[in-house]
Amino acid sequence: MKKILKSLVYVIFFIFISMVLLPKQELFYFLEKKIEEKNIVISNEQFENKILGFDLKYSDIYFEQINVANVEKLSINTYLFYNQVSIKNVRLLDSFKSMFPTPLTNIYLTYSILDYENVQIEADGIFGKLYGSINIFDRKAIVYLEATSSMKNSYSNVLRQMKFKDGRYVYEYKF
């Protein structure tokens, strides 16, 4: 029994040290190259290394060489069984404000090995609360929106693309 416990402690210690010493900046550059294939570019970011993740501060998001948004802070935290991406204060540029209200205060993407098929989404802002999941294997996203009255009044064209069910708006997307 002591040998099993000792082996388990060594394995957990090895995994922890591996996560701490993981080259996070190179991981970010790898992710940046992957999203660049989809014509999305992150620029002007300030990289900040953390023990179990990294932060990007004050970055600009470009889609097909058009500046779409400014992000105050993007944090990626990697834990043993749980990973989270949190995005704070996303401001869409003026030309995109007619499509969706800005700013988006918080966006959280969470992945857990206990629910290995889905990535959970949560967001809030002046539009209300948004939550849902992305099924990785079925390649399907389901998003629920609890819209505020200002969202209903000013962005009714966006809400028309969603189904109204049980007092909330539902949007399904296959990719």
Whether 150 and 93 share a structural domain: yes
Backbone angles phi, psi at 99, to 5 degrees: -90, -35
Mean pLDDT of 155-175: 91
CA distances (Å), origin 107, targets 22, 29, 39: 25, 22, 21
Contact assessment for residue 55 and residue 48, using Cβ atoms and an 8 Å cutoff: yes
Whether 63 and 94 share a structural domain: no
What is the domain extent for residue 89? 79-175
Q: How confident is the model at residue 42 (pLDDT cuts 50, 70, 90)?
A: very high
Query: For position 154, what pLDDT does the model report?
Result: 86
**Which of 62, 91, 63, 59 lies closest to 75, judged by CA?**
59
Whether 89 and 141 share a structural domain: yes
- As a whole number of angstroms, the distance between CA 92 and CA 71 comes to 9
Query: For position 56, what pLDDT does the model report?
Result: 94
- Return the structure tokens found at 41: 């570019």
Query: For position 12, what pLDDT does the model report?
Result: 86
- As a whole number of angstroms, the distance between CA 108 and CA 74 comes to 10
Query: For position 46, what pLDDT does the model report?
Result: 94
Neighbours of 2 (CB within 10 A): 6
Whether 132 maps to a domain, the answer reads: yes
Whether 52 and 84 share a structural domain: no
Whether 116 maps to a domain, the answer reads: yes
